Amino acid sequence: MLFNTVSFFVFLSIVFALYWQLTERLRMQNLLILVASYVFYGWWDWRFLLLIAFSSAVDFLVGLRIHSAQTQRNRRLWLMTSLTVNLGVLGFFKYFNFGIESASLLLQSIGLSTSISSLNIILPVGISFYTFQTLSYTIDIYRGKIEPTTNWLQFFAFVSFFPQLVAGPIERAADLLPQFEKNRSFNKYEAVTGLRLILWGLFKKMVIADRLAVIVDSIYANPESADSLTVVIAAVFFSYQLYCDFSGYSDIAIGTGRLLGFRLTRNFITPFLSRTMTEFWQRWHVSLSSWFRDYVYIPLGGNRSSIIKWGFNILITFTLSGLWHGAGLHFVLWGILCAVPLILERLFNLKSIGAMPTFMLFSLLMIMFRADSVEGASRLYGGLASFSFNSHQILEITGLSIRELLTTITLLFSLIAAESFLKKTDFDEALNGTSMWFRWSLYYIIIVLILLFGVLDNAPQFVYFQF
């Protein structure tokens, strides 16, 4: 079930109506959320429900065991159980075929023939997100930062909470789980702010991201035909496609959470206004960046070490982040490449390189991320280095008219102007204090833009669903 479909809004309307009939009945509200979340998740494939229920059960029990263990050794053993089960399941579904193919290529490179075959494994939607969410729960219990819940219903609802289940934000138990333990009453202000964020998220997804996807997908499908100008356009457009797609999802998720009385983590803080890559990763996919910071980077030693050890910590963290995004060598290389600017910024004590250079550097790095393989990325980087320019090539590759292309560019610039105005404030906060006339005029303008220019038929899924 996709956020940008009629079926989701019918589903949400039913859940919303039933949910607020259960005010002052906390257990029934949580039960409704759990059932609704399982219906939402099972909409893709009911078999996925077995995995998320299994993961929830394991970490619910392990959390209790860690807390009650009498020795440090037993605490560590139970934590290792959680790590082994969760990472084992994630590794099998996401990386098994990648490991088989890599081993086969390695054997072939040294002259050994192999008949190893991969399996037709379906990647469960959102598995990377809810796995990290449950892992943070058991790790934080082990560290003594939180105590485990003894209420299985609250925990299962926390893990499967449908607004953020499939693509985040990756919530920490310390932030979200207590919200399942408190009585929730309808708050008109929270509902209004939630609807604002949903509207803004739909605009970014349907009007900007999905229109840019037509151009980006065409160019990446024909990397050998792209000249320098086309590659630059593809790189810039993909950066905005990914941002509007993913931050649009996050806005809808956060807004949906508010409709139900929950506050979720803000996941994007106008990252394209960042003036260094270090600042950029503090403002892009915040819930994942902070997860790797707290559970990988800091345990490795963080920046409290020699410059060489620190560089190693950064490199490992970003390499694992790349691998988290996908089972492919190009994702691993992308992670490594992302670490390099951060290392250089510290070595040369660069406090600011400017918003535009930072954005362009990110866009160039994302060529490796978006390409289907290292070879595909190499062709695009080669096209960039050819210094050839054909202003009509992008129209030939995409099949768009000049009018359609200019319309998309104009809409994109409207978003860039809005982002420049927002700075670090989100869309909802920016409207606080404005007149009712201004707010409603803006709402109608956004709705009209969605209806006129949004991709309404065959709505593409969100990009991060594949991770």
Q: Please name the residue ranges forming H helices in 295-435.
A: 298-300, 307-325, 329-347, 355-370, 374-385, 393-398, 402-422, 427-431
Catalytic (active site) residue 325 = yes
Asked if residue 247 lies in contact with residue 204, where contact means CB atoms within 8 angstroms, the answer is: yes
What angle do helix axes 6-19 and 228-259 make, rounded to 10 degrees? 20
**Cis bond leading into 124, ω under 30°?**
no
Residue type, 350: L
Contacts of 193 (CB under 8 A, 6+ apart): 255, 258, 428
Q: CA–CA distance from 194 to each of 245, 251, 256, 261, 266 (Å)?
A: 18, 9, 6, 10, 13
Asked if residue 33 lies in contact with residue 154, where contact means CB atoms within 8 angstroms, the answer is: no
Cα angle 372, 375, 381; round to 5: 95
- Residue 242's closest CA among 5, 16, 19, 460? 460
The active-site residue, picked from 67, 285, 325, 392, is 325
Question: CA neighbours within 13 Å on the CB side: how many for 463?
Answer: 23
Tokens at 161, concatenated: 């909470």
Active-site residue list: 325
